[in-house]
Amino acid sequence: MNVVPDTSVVIDGRVSATIEDGQFEGATICVPEAVVAELEAQANDGLDSGWDGLEELQRLAELADEGVVDLEYVGERPSAIERGHASEGEIDALIRDLAEELDATFVTSDVVQAEVAQAKGLDVEHVSPEVRRVGTLAVEEYFDDETMSVHLKTDAIPRAKRGELGAMHYEEIADEPLDEATMDEYAREVIDGAKEAHDGFIELSEPGMKIVQFRDYRIAIGRPPFSDGIEITAVRPIAQTDIDDYEHADELKERLLERQRGVLISGAPGAGKSTFAQAVARYISDHDYSVKTMEKPRDLQVGPDITQYTELGGEMAKTADALLMVRPDYTIYDEVRKTDDFEVFADMRLAGVGMIGVVHATRPIDSLQRLVGRVELGMIPQVADTVVYIEAGKVETVYDVRTTVKVPAGLTEEDLARPVIQVTNFQTGEPEYEIYTFNRQVVTVPLKDEEGGPGSESGVDRIAKQEIEREIRSIARGYVDVHLKSQDRAVVYVEEDDISSVIGKGGGRITDIENRLGIDIDVRTHDENPHYGAGGGGGGASANNAGGGSQAGQMVQPEITSRHIVIPVDGNHGETVEVQAAGDYLFTATVSRGGEIQVSRGSAIAEELERAIDRKDPVTVVPS
């Protein structure tokens, strides 16, 4: 009796199991070379299925050595083209042809393959994959009631994060390191459990990395060459909270149920953002709202009434398109990190869906600032009208975000009125930030002293000072020093040779600058500056260093083109920086989204920069 198994039944390990049950005892097991090639390719790609199949071939060889069966390898190895079309059934067709040629019993655990073989008149034995009850995984034994995550790695002592939210400790939980064989056994048990348990599935499967959802655990398994050893990281939520457990719960509940909103739940890693998001999801689901989630991987712990979606076709944008057809009232978007995530979040919110996004941020305002540049400024309050900041498992801050037309705080001219995004503390009702366009830049201005120290500059003062410096330095050739006397008055100190250039004929040039900025500017020479030369030595060099020249910066290599001097900057995109030469201050500029600063040739700044380049002075960029 000849028996030809296909790839599926070899991977399942059901050929040797059937032989041991006595069904094929004494038969000749004819393993197609096509099966071997497919298993080898899968093993080379780091897929467990390939290794499982090769282990089954070894068991068949042992049964042949014992005389239970005869074992032969038959057929020819498939070509690269045929292996490339394996998903279209080319390898399956080769295996069926061999079974027909050898007049053999064709064994498979693939129902489609069995139906095709029967239609072609083959003698088919369909062996259903073995289904066994999945008990407790070895990894679970490392958890106790206070364990949030377990971290295992080859040749390393097992560690875990244990404690209460906001007070976690990363500690050793065993005396001896784990060897590779034990780690491999743990990893295979997790994969098998995810395949066989009804409440488990493989979320991500790539060569070297698998992410599994198994009951309440999210388990990531890394293998070489992706990682430098077998590593297993298992995470489990340790807290199941209700929205009433949080401070200001009544106000938040009323706000969420009033209408669909755009909410950003922010906080540092491990602060309890997802735990709060789960509480919100359960609450609004219990109050006549249809709720879905968008997650990759899916690890929020929600009830069966809330469907959890992941990437569709590898893209969250496709998931969003599908959800718009499902029409949920609220969608929980877990882990909004990349630009694509923010764009999907904004698109769904502007389509009328209530959106709750989980965002990593170390300050409450940071999550809102991450929308700047990704969403048109005027649309931000429509995309996110509420920011909830979580710290140590508690609601630390709630912001209300809305647009108003007003003169920004700190400016006085009525013709400077413009749309301003006001960020108001939900608990106190006091505005804490304003976001608006100031001289072609989007600025976020704190309305309170963030440092808390006496005499420190407010956000408005810093912005105003930078803008005045930028305007004056585009004209003056020498050093410029700006002192703000009040919200609407400043004194600018320049070199004596620059006085006439800055003031202009009949005062026209300085008047234009005053009108643009809405600030009265008094122009004086450095000799009139009471702070000039302070700090030792006097003179221009000392004044330049007072502007920040002593700070460490990023060395850059300017490129001179026909029209511009281009300074490439690594990082700091969208931020204000100082450009220095040989430690001396040159000018202040904003780094473009493309990561560069452009200075028009012919201007005073450009000429000074070119002189520095000719002298081979080191040019550095320092965050302002």
Asked if residues 433 and 446 have their Cβ atoms less than 8 Å apart, the reply is yes
The domain boundary, picked from 235, 254, 287, lies at 235
Tokens of 250: 């009544």
The CATH number given to whatever domain includes residue 144 is 3.30.450.90
Q: Dump the DSSP string for 498-565.
A: GHHHHH-GGGHHHHHHHHHHT-EEEEEEGGG-TTTTTTTT-HHHHHHIIIIITS--EEE--EE-SSEE
CA–CA dist 485, 279 (Å, integer): 50
Query: Tokens 């500690």 belong to which residue?
Result: 171
Over residues 441-454, mean pLDDT: 65
Q: Is 70 exceeded by the pLDDT of residue 131?
A: no
pLDDT for the residue numbered 57:
93
Phi (first) and psi of residue 432, to 5 degrees: -115, -25
Distance of CA 302 to the CA centre of its chain: 22
Q: Is 50 exceeded by the pLDDT of residue 539?
A: no
Helix (H), strand (E) at residue 331: strand 330-333
Q: What percent of the chain has pLDDT over 70?
A: 89
AA identity, residue 580 = Q
Q: Which residues neighbour 228 within 8 Å (Cβ) at sequence distance 6 or greater?
A: none
pLDDT for the residue numbered 534:
44
The reply to whether 553 and 587 lie within a common domain is yes
Give tens-digit pLDDT for 540-552. Answer: 333 333 333 334 5
Proportion of the chain in helix, strand, coil states, percent, rounded to 5? 35, 30, 35
CA–CA dist 347, 342 (Å, integer): 9
The CATH number given to whatever domain includes residue 498 is 3.30.300.20
Model confidence at 413, pLDDT cuts 50, 70, 90, reads low
The domain boundary, picked from 505, 532, 559, lies at 532
Model confidence at 154, pLDDT cuts 50, 70, 90, reads very high
The answer to whether position 451 is within a domain reads no
Choice among 232-236, 359-363, 458-462 with the minimum mean pLDDT: 458-462
HSE-CB of 155 using CA atoms within 13 angstroms: 2
The domain boundary, picked from 169, 203, 235, lies at 235
The answer to whether position 559 is within a domain reads yes
AA identity, residue 109 = S
The answer to whether position 133 is within a domain reads no
Strongest mean pLDDT among 26-35, 163-172, 207-216, 590-599 = 26-35
The reply to whether 38 and 96 lie within a common domain is yes
Model confidence at 410, pLDDT cuts 50, 70, 90, reads low
Tokens of 14: 């059901």
Cross-strand bridge partners of residue 525: 494
Contacts 24+ apart (CB under 8 A), 215-223: 216/301, 217/137, 217/139, 217/140, 218/297, 218/299, 219/139, 219/190, 221/187, 221/190, 221/191, 223/46, 223/187
The reply to whether 554 and 586 lie within a common domain is yes
Model confidence at 455, pLDDT cuts 50, 70, 90, reads very low
pLDDT for the residue numbered 346:
94
What does the H/E/C string look like for 446-458?
ECCCCCCCCCCCC
The CATH number given to whatever domain includes residue 92 is 3.40.50.1010
Q: Among candidates 549, 621, 615, 559, which has minimal Cα distance to 590? A: 621
The reply to whether 231 and 247 lie within a common domain is no
The reply to whether 30 and 99 lie within a common domain is yes
pLDDT for the residue numbered 12:
82
Domain containing 70 equals 2-126
The reply to whether 352 and 377 lie within a common domain is yes
The answer to whether position 454 is within a domain reads no
The reply to whether 495 and 583 lie within a common domain is no
- Coil, strand or helix: which one is 371? coil
The reply to whether 527 and 556 lie within a common domain is no
pLDDT for the residue numbered 195:
77
Residue 457, Ramachandran bin (φ over 0: left; ψ between -120 and 50: alpha; else beta): beta
The answer to whether position 422 is within a domain reads yes
The reply to whether 436 and 578 lie within a common domain is no
pLDDT for the residue numbered 201:
83
Give tens-digit pLDDT for 254-291. Answer: 889 988 999 999 998 878 898 899 999 999 999 989 99
State pTM to two decimals: 0.58
The reply to whether 319 and 215 lie within a common domain is no
Domain count, the chain: 5
The answer to whether position 131 is within a domain reads no
Q: Where are the alpha helices (DSSP H) in 45-88?
A: 48-65, 80-84
The reply to whether 399 and 420 lie within a common domain is yes
pLDDT for the residue numbered 537:
34
Strongest mean pLDDT among 186-190, 271-275, 288-292, 553-557 = 288-292
CA–CA dist 191, 200 (Å, integer): 9
Tokens of 182: 């034990």
Contacts 24+ apart (CB under 8 A), 414-422: 415/518, 416/518, 419/377, 419/378, 421/377, 421/380, 421/381
What count of other Cβ atoms lies within 10 Å of the Cβ of residue 338? 11
The reply to whether 46 and 91 lie within a common domain is yes
The answer to whether position 543 is within a domain reads no
CA–CA dist 401, 431 (Å, integer): 10
The answer to whether position 262 is within a domain reads yes
